[in-house]
Structure formats: structure tokens, C-alpha cells
Structure 1
Amino acid sequence: MSSTSESFTLPSGRQMAYTLSSGGSSDGVVLLSNSLAEDLTSWDRVVPVLENQGFRVLRYDHPGHGRSGAPTEAELTSATFEAMTDDAYELLKHLKISKLHAWVGVSMGGIKAVYFTVRHPGIVNKIVVADAIAASPAVAGIPDNFAARVSAVKQAGSISEDLSNTRKRWFGEEWMAKHPEETARMEKSMATTTTQGLEACCAALGSPSFDLRPLYPKVGHGCEEALIVAGEKDADLPVKMQEMRQAIEESLRNCGKKVPVRMEIIKGAGHVPYIDGFENFCEIVTKFLA
């Protein structure tokens, strides 16, 4: 099975890059959605694992990341997860995919899993939400690191220091020293991030409209099953995401869907556990998707 990067034009006029593996079952499509500051190649090692299970794998790039076009002027300051998940819906329409076996999302991709399921119910069978915060700093009442990050990048006139700091935060110096090949692969994936891409995604993450908590009760109407995942070393998310797990489980139960919703912690992994917790992540996810 193989996939090449293609693109199509969204209603906004922006180009969206994606890859869809050939072969496999047309009703067994798994969508992989990653965090900001990396492109779809970050999933390259996960794709063959899923293809060997008989799935077709769909991936796409965020605005201003990878091969996707730069965000529109409006998106730079007012991008929202509602609009970004609607872009993913347009991609499915373009590909004539009416059902997804699963949406596997990490960080921003996990946030989008919840938004998509609620906004476009009945398309996704199973969702995996990994390492995702539940609300913007404005809603949570904490300092806005996203705005500070964009400001620092603009001041520096380059995104490279931000990406270097991000890698240290995600993986840690020790892990990177022990895994030079994976570190180099991620450097390449992250280097496709543009300042505008970072700005638009940070606008969505910092938006006062970003709050998953009012959406949780509707998740059960939108999908059949859910799994929550967190990297053991990803700040307080292994604890914080328990609230998400509980709320989504309650929603599924109220809709007569499959419960319980499990919370899986990827030992030794950080914010992007399919990289530094690759084997454990794949084992947990493939079991859930089976």
C-alpha cells in the first residue's frame, strides 16, 4: 500500500494537503490528526502498522504546515476549531468518504476529534483523543502561552528556536540523544511549520470560543466508542484528562453506546506519544481499533 501527498482547494481558497493510502477497505478508513508544529510525515511509522491491520489511512496538514497552503489573513487572528474541523469535513466530502472507522488525534488533532464528532455526528465510529487540553488559556483563566509563543517567534524573525524548544519540551534532551534518527526525522517534519501556520493554530488554541467541556455531553450522539490517551510525562494531562474521560463516558452511556471509556497512559512518553512511546501507542490504539 502506498500514499502520495495530494491537495485540494477548500471553500476559503486555501490549499489543503493530504495523503490517503491505497488498498485496504473503503469502510475502514482511519484518520490521523497531529499537533501543531509538525506535518503529516510525523505519522510515517504508524501508517504501516495500521495498514497491516487492513485499514486505509488518511492524514492531512494544518494550515501553513507541511504542504498545506498558508492560512488566510482572517485565520491568522481568528482561526477556530469549528472552522478547522469543517475543513476536515470538506476533505472527506472531496474524497467521497462518508464514514470513518476512527479519528485518532493527538494534541490539536485530539481537540479536533471532539469538535468533529459533535459538529458532524454519525461519521466517525471510534475516536482516540490523546494529549489534548480541554480549553483555551482565556477560558481556563491561565496565562496565554500561545500568544506569547507567536510574539516571541515574530520578534526573533525566525521559527527555528521555537521548534527547538518545542522538541526539548516534547521529548527531552536525554531521549533525543538516545534516538538520533527519530529526532532527525522529527526535526524535518517540524521544519515545515511556517510562522503563519503557527500563528493561525495558536489563534485557535487561544480563542475564547475553544472549550471542549460543553461539547462532552454531545459526543455520545456523534460516535460509538472513545479512548483517552496521555503521555506519562506530558505535564498534568494524565490527571487533567480524567475529567474528559469521565464526561465522554457519561455521554456514551446516556446514548446507549459502548462503555467504559478507558484512559491509557503511555509510559515514558511526552506530548507526542506516537513518537517517543511508539510501540506502546501502536499496541494500545490497534487493540482499540480492532
Structure 2
Amino acid sequence: MASRPGNVAPVASSEGKFGIFTLPHAPAKIAYHFYEVPQRDLPVIMLSNSLSSTFKVLWKEFVEHFRDSYSIIMYDQRFHGESPLSEGFDYYGKGLTFEELADDAAAILDHLGIARIHAFVGLSMGATTGLFFKARHSARVGKIVAAGSGLKSAPPGAEDVFEARVKIATDGQDGMAKLAPSTLERWFPGEPGRRFLDTHSGRRDELLEMLRDAKPEGFVACIRALQNFDLTGPLEKIKERGDSKDVLLVIGEMDGVLPDANKSMAKISDSNVAIIPESGHIMNIQKAGEFNVLVDKFITP
């Protein structure tokens, strides 16, 4: 179901279960929303966010499409959105790893008393989290939709780009606001991206506000994970376990080098890859109709 400008159903805060709990394996708290259709035993989907985003903003079109057929768990990554900061964590020094972020997802399931979910759908950083989750916790998830992940940390030289963003983010109280416009341009590149933002001004403004309000501590902590990961091992493990059919890689045609990276990922894992034409990084919003149909077809029991 394609998004409709100014008429996208909000994530229902009064339905289901919202909570914040302390992780058992780290001095941090995670905010989540478990949207359930009352008195219906539906398959469960877990959604995992991109860097600097929140579940309340990122998944509106997705929830509108799937809310009557699935129960949906959404959560904010550590130090993002409604997941609060932790005094016991060295945000700028230690950083996070994708192994930790994958274990956070497992801890949410433990907290909710859910042994296994039907599908995990992740975007960008959330997609990488999902692939690590499948490799580390295979028995707890059926299908994985990894949208917009890379194979490994940025190529040589790109670290300087990350560090430049970190410097801006941590420079004064308005660092994230300074990064917001350029982030949105990267997320929605080229003429198709500009056209989408121009014709969906309400959604554009909402995304900009989300980016401006993002916590710099969470941004930096998760940047460290993005600077230090390699999915080669997890993807090989997925293939060795015979789980390749359970993984769908999705990428926007205009998302820089990531289409080629995802083709390499598909070869390593022996999984399928789908490329969405004229889409950038945030394909679940820019091309919501195409994205939701792909996911629906792949995860339908």
C-alpha cells in the first residue's frame, strides 16, 4: 500500500504494549512498542531502525500496511528516540558493536516472553543488526528482510567522512541539526529523491525534525558499530546452516555502492536480492508500496 501524503496512519501509542526496560547484559535501557491486534494470535514481525531514526517516525507506512495481519514489535536502538542515555556507558570512547545490537533484539524478545518471531525487518543499521541476529540467534527468527545494509565497514578513506560527521554532531548543542539536511539528501538522493520530498512535504518535515532531535551520544555510539563490522562471517554461517532461503536482501537502485555490495552479500549467503528502482536509502518510505509488497510476498506464511 503506497504512502499517501498527509494521510499516513500514525503508530498507535494507545494500542498494544509500550515500555522501557533495562537490558540484562548492558547498563542501558530500550524503549519498545509491541502492537498487537486484540484477541488474535498473529505472527510477529520485529522492526529495527536506521541510524538517527525512531520507530514512531520510520515505520508509519509499514505499520499501516501490515497492522491487520501481524503483531509488530518496534524499538529504538540504544540511545535513540525514547531509549534513554546511560550514565554507565562511554558513548564516545567505547562505542557499540553489531553483536551487542543483535543481542539487544534478543533481550527484547526475552522481556516480552516471545521465544520466536516470524520475521525480522531491518533498515540500514537495522538491516545489519538483523543479519547478525540471524547468525547469532537463528532459532529465534524465521525470515529476515535486510534493507540497505552494507557488507562491511566503509572502504579505506570513508572513515574520515564518518569522523567528520561525528565532529559536527558533537560540536555544540545543535550538531545534529546541522547534519539533518545533508542526511536527508543522502537518504533520498537524486531527482527521484527530491521529487518525493517535494511532494510529501509533511513526511519531509517530520523526518527532518526526527534527525534534528536525535541524540548525538546515540549517533556516535552506533557510528562506531558502522565503522567496525564485517558481515562475511555471519553470512557464511547463515549459508552453512541452510538458512539462505530465509533471507531477502533489499536495496534501493540509487543507494550509492550498496547495490553492488548486496549482490556480493547474496553470493556469500546464497540468498536473494531485490533492487527497488529509483529509490534511495530509505526505501520503506520513498517506495513504500513496492517495499511492502516485496516484504509481504516474502514473509507470507
Shorter-chain TM range is 0.7 to 0.9
Once residues 234 and 143 of structure 1 are traced to their aligned partners in structure 2, the CA distance between those partners, rounded to angstroms, is 16
Matched, 1:240 2:250: no
1:7 aligns with one of 20, 41, 58: 20
In structure 2, the residue matched to 1:256 is none
CA contact (8 A) 1:122 1:222 kept: no
> What amino acid is the match of 2:220?
E
In structure 2, the residue matched to 1:154 is 170
Once residues 291 and 47 of structure 2 are traced to their aligned partners in structure 1, the CA distance between those partners, rounded to angstroms, is 13
Once residues 18 and 191 of structure 1 are traced to their aligned partners in structure 2, the CA distance between those partners, rounded to angstroms, is 21
> What amino acid is the match of 2:151?
A
Q: Please report how far the alpha carbon of residue 266 of structure 1 lies from its aligned counterpart in structure 2 after TM superposition.
A: 1.4
> What amino acid is the match of 1:275?
I
Q: Please report how far the alpha carbon of residue 157 of structure 1 lies from its aligned counterpart in structure 2 after TM superposition.
A: 4.1
Q: TM-score, normalised by structure 2?
A: 0.85
Once residues 179 and 4 of structure 1 are traced to their aligned partners in structure 2, the CA distance between those partners, rounded to angstroms, is 30
Q: Please report how far the alpha carbon of residue 87 of structure 1 lies from its aligned counterpart in structure 2 after TM superposition.
A: 1.2
Q: Please report how far the alpha carbon of residue 277 of structure 1 lies from its aligned counterpart in structure 2 after TM superposition.
A: 0.7
Gap change, CA 1:206 and 1:38, over 3 Å in 2: same
Counting only pairs closer than 5 Å after superposition, residues 93-242 of structure 1 correspond to structure 2 as: 93-137=110-154, 140-144=155-159, 145-155=161-171, 157-158=173-174, 159-171=176-188, 172-207=193-228, 210-220=229-239, 221=241, 223=243, 225-242=246-263
Q: TM-score, normalised by structure 1?
A: 0.88
Q: Secondary structure at the match of 2:142?
A: strand
Once residues 67 and 292 of structure 2 are traced to their aligned partners in structure 1, the CA distance between those partners, rounded to angstroms, is 12
Matched, 1:44 2:57: no
Gap change, CA 1:16 and 1:189, over 3 Å in 2: same
Q: How much is the aligned-residue C-alpha RMSD, in angstroms?
A: 1.9
> What amino acid is the match of 2:36?
S
Once residues 106 and 248 of structure 2 are traced to their aligned partners in structure 1, the CA distance between those partners, rounded to angstroms, is 21
Gap change, CA 1:4 and 1:268, over 3 Å in 2: farther
1:80 aligns with one of 65, 76, 97: 97
Q: Please report how far the alpha carbon of residue 56 of structure 1 lies from its aligned counterpart in structure 2 after TM superposition.
A: 0.5
Gap change, CA 1:8 and 1:26, over 3 Å in 2: farther
Q: How many correspondences in the alignment?
A: 274
Gap change, CA 1:84 and 1:142, over 3 Å in 2: same
Q: Secondary structure at the match of 1:74?
A: coil
Once residues 119 and 193 of structure 1 are traced to their aligned partners in structure 2, the CA distance between those partners, rounded to angstroms, is 29
Give structure 1 stretches of 5+ with no counterpart: 250-260
